[in-house]
Each structure stands twice: as structure tokens, then as C-alpha cells.
């Protein structure tokens, strides 16, 4: 059985997509657990960026090993793709995870998984302006309104008061925007190169720059004392990054985007449920289940039965 045949059979693609989405959702509570273990909330932004670099150095090392074993002949990409991969690394790893690791220190795992789901809605908006035949119709508009209503509702805390921090919730919404741009770019580049190779190189570039930023700007008091549990959590977060990104792009390469992205509603659902179970002190405000429901419905509406054209499949 070839990779293409495996990734086009619904009996394998649907369970695989669900597993990817659950793993994706688990990343948010794991970040909170790492912060709780290391006390990262009390240290500087460069220390958080350094921590993000560790995750992606691990992920890129795993991906490089996989690429050397399975795709040795494809490891060197065309020269004209190199600048695009560097730009992809800037959006997909550097910007996205600076925003994520800073923002997650100032909000909950549940809200993190919900607010970053804005990427699904930003993708629809980007498509509207980039593709002539992928405009926002009434169905998509309704989905966007419902989805963004859920995002707004997610910012009401247990006292039913509005909480929206620029260094917390706002950064996580920016994660959604940057992720959407990154997904768009990755899908386009993956037309010309193996998506696993593309992910490997952009992650290597991004993780090294994150490491450099962290080391240059960290102060002596920012040195992190990482316990065995902390390392296990970092290793887990690195491992899931090395799995979900290449698998996601590979699945998208061989399937209609709308048939796959409809399952992205599982990400905030998994993130919220796992956070409530494993993150100490994680409180689910009364408004959050309703917000989660609206976001999930919005994701399904904007992606369900998207018209299957070559351009549309190239987006997410």
C-alpha cells in the first residue's frame, strides 16, 4: 500500500484526522503543565521563548531523523523554495510560538485551545481575498458570525465579567491569524515539495532563531531549572509537534480540504476537556461550554461541503 492510497481511504483518514486533532488539543494543557512545573509565569518573556525553542528543537530533530530515513533523496529542496521556507518558518514557528508561549502564560489552557481556533475563520477570510472562486457566501458568513461570537463569549470569566488581556487572549487570537497565514503558505509550498521535508526545514529554521532570541535576551535570573517531569512534558510537546504538522499537511495534500478541516472542531473540544482534567486549578467559567459549542459549530459550518475545486483544496 502506497502512502497516497493509505491517506485517501476514509477508513484510515477520518480516524487519523481525529487523532491528530486530539493531539493538537492536548498541546495547550501541556504548556500550562510545563509552566506550572517550571514556574515560567514568573520569569521573563525571553525565558518563555527559550522554552518554546526547546520544544521545536526536539521536534525538528525527530523530523530530520525521519526525513533522513524515509526521504533521503528529497531532503534537499529546490533553491527557489528556500526563501519561501524561511518565510514559512518565520510565520509557522517563530511568530506563532512567541505569541503562543507568551499568551498561554496569561490565560487558561481551555481558553487557549478555543481562541487559537480562530485560524479556521481567518483561513476563510484569506481565501475570500486570494481566490476568485472561493468567496464568502451566506453559509460561510453565518459560520464566521457564530464562530467569532464563540470567541467573544470565551472571554467572560466565572464572575461573568469581560477579561481580555493584550498579553494573553489578544496574542492567542494573533496565533490564529499567523497560523492561518502559515497553513496557507505551507499548502502552497507542499505542491512543489514533500510536506514532511517542508515542515522539517521550516521547523529547523524557526527553532534555531527562537533559541537565539531566548539566549540573547535572557538574564542570569531567567535560567530555568528543569525537573525530570518538566523534561518529559517538553519531550511530549516536541514529539506531538513532530507528528501532527507533517501528518496534517500530508493528509491535506491527498484529500479535499473541506472534508478534513471540518474535524478541526475537535481541537478546542479536546483542549478544553483535557485542561479541565489535568491542569491544576483550571476553572471552566459558565460561559465557556457555550463558547466552545459556538466555535465548534462555526468551524463545521465554514468547512462543511466546501466546493471541491483545485484552488480551494490548496488553502487549508
Could you tell me the pLDDT band of residue 314, with boundaries at 50, 70 and 90?
Answer: very low
**pTM for this entry:** 0.85
Q: At what angle do helices 96-103 and 45-70 cross, to 10 degrees?
A: 130
Give the number of other CB atoms < 10 A from CB of residue 246.
23
Given pLDDT bands bounded at 50, 70 and 90, which one contains residue 262?
confident
**32-62 per-position pLDDT tens digit:** 998 888 876 666 888 889 989 999 999 999 9
- pLDDT over 70 (residue 236): yes
Over residues 207-225, the pLDDT tens digits come to 999 999 999 998 877 667 7
pLDDT at res. 19: 92
Exposure string for 221-244, b = 16+ CB within 10 A, e = fewer: ebebebeeebeebbebbbebbbbb
Distance CA 14, CA 7 (A): 9
Please give the Cα distance from 26 to 115 (Å, whole number). 14
Cβ–Cβ under 8 Å, residues 148 and 301: no
Residue found by looking up cell 491542569 in the block: 279
The set of cell numbers assigned to 247 is: 501528518
- Of the candidates 80, 93, 103, which has an alpha carbon nearest to the alpha carbon of residue 245? 93
Q: How many CA atoms lie within 13 A of 190 on its CB side?
A: 27
What sign results for the dihedral spanned by CA atoms 20, 22, 28, 32?
Answer: negative
Which residues contact residue 107 at a Cβ distance below 8 angstroms, ignoring those fewer than 6 apart?
115, 165, 168, 169, 172
Burial (Cβ within 10 Å: 0-12, 13-18, ≥19) of residue 15: exposed
Q: Which range (147-156, 242-251, 304-313) has the least confidence?
A: 304-313
Q: Are 123 and 183 in contact (CB under 8 A)?
A: yes
In the DSSP assignment, the letter for residue 162 is: B
CB–CB of 116/100 below 8 Å? yes
Residue-wise pLDDT for 120-138, tens only, equals 889 888 888 887 777 888 8
Q: pLDDT digits over 130-189, tens only?
A: 877 778 888 889 999 999 999 888 877 655 456 778 888 999 999 999 998 988 888 788
pLDDT tens, residue by residue, 58-115: 999 999 998 898 888 888 888 899 999 999 999 999 999 999 999 998 888 888 898 9
Distances (CA, A) of 31 to 43, 169, 244: 15, 15, 16
CA pair distance 111, 217, nearest whole angstrom: 28
Listed residue (260, 261, 257, 268) closest to 291, CA to CA: 268
C-alpha cell, 295: 466555535
pLDDT at 285: 77
10 or 244: which leads in pLDDT: 244
Distance between CA atoms of residues 185 and 170, nearest Å: 23
* pLDDT of 256: 72
Residues whose CB is less than 8 angstroms from the CB of residue 250 and which lie 6 or more positions away in sequence, other chains included: 3, 7, 195, 196
CA separation for the pair 165, 162 (Å, rounded):
10
CB-based contacts of 48: which residues, under 8 Å, 6+ apart? 40, 101, 102, 105
The three cell numbers of residue 282 are: 483550571
Amino acid at each position: 500500500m502506497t502512502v497516497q492510497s493509505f491517506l485517501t481511504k476514509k477508513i484510515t483518514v477520518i480516524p487519523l484526522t481525529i487523532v491528530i486533532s486530539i493531539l493538537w488539543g492536548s498541546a495547550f494543557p501541556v504548556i500550562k503543565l510545563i509552566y506550572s512545573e517550571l514556574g515560567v509565569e514568573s520569569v521573563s518573556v525571553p525565558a518563555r521563548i527559550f522554552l518554546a525553542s526547546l520544544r521545536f528543537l526536539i521536534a525538528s530533530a525527530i523530523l530530520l531523523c525521519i526525513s533522513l530515513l524515509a526521504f533521503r533523496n528529497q531532503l534537499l529542496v529546490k533553491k527557489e523554495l528556500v526563501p519561501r521556507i524561511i518565510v514559512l518558518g518565520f510565520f509557522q514557528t517563530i511568530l506563532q510560538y512567541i505569541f503562543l508561549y507568551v499568551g498561554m502564560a496569561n490565560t487558561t489552557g481551555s481558553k487557549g485551545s478555543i481562541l487559537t481556533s480562530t485560524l479556521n475563520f481567518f483561513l476563510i477570510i484569506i481565501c475570500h481575498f486570494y481566490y476568485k472562486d472561493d468567496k464568502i457566501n451566506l453559509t460561510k458568513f453565518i459560520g464566521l458570525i457564530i464562530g467569532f461570537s464563540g470567541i467573544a463569549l470565551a472571554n467572560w470569566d466565572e464572575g461573568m465579567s469581560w477579561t481580555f488581556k493584550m498579553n494573553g487572549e489578544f496574542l492567542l487570537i494573533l496565533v490564529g491569524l499567523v497560523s492561518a497565514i502559515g497553513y496557507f503558505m505551507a499548502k502552497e509550498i507542499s505542491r512543489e515539495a514533500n510536506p514532511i521535508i517542508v515542515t522539517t526545514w521550516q521547523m529547523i529554521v524557526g527553532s534555531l532563531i527562537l533559541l537565539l532570541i531566548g539566549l540573547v535576551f535572557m538574564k542570569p535570573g531567567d535560567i530555568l531549572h528543569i525537573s525530570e517531569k518538566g523534561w518529559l512534558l517538553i519531550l511530549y510537546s516536541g514529539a506531538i509537534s513532530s507528528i501532527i504538522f507533517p501528518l496534517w499537511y500530508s493528509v491535506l495534500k491527498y484529500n479535499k480540504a473541506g472534508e478534513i478541516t471540518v474535524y478541526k472542531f475537535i481541537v478546542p473540544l479536546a483542549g478544553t476537556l483535557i485542561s479541565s482534567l489535568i491542569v491544576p486549578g483550571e476553572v471552566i467559567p459558565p460561559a465557556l461550554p457555550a463558547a466552545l459549542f459556538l466555535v465548534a459549530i462555526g468551524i463545521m459550518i465554514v468547512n462543511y461541503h466546501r466546493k471541491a475545486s483545485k484552488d480551494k483544496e490548496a488553502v487549508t
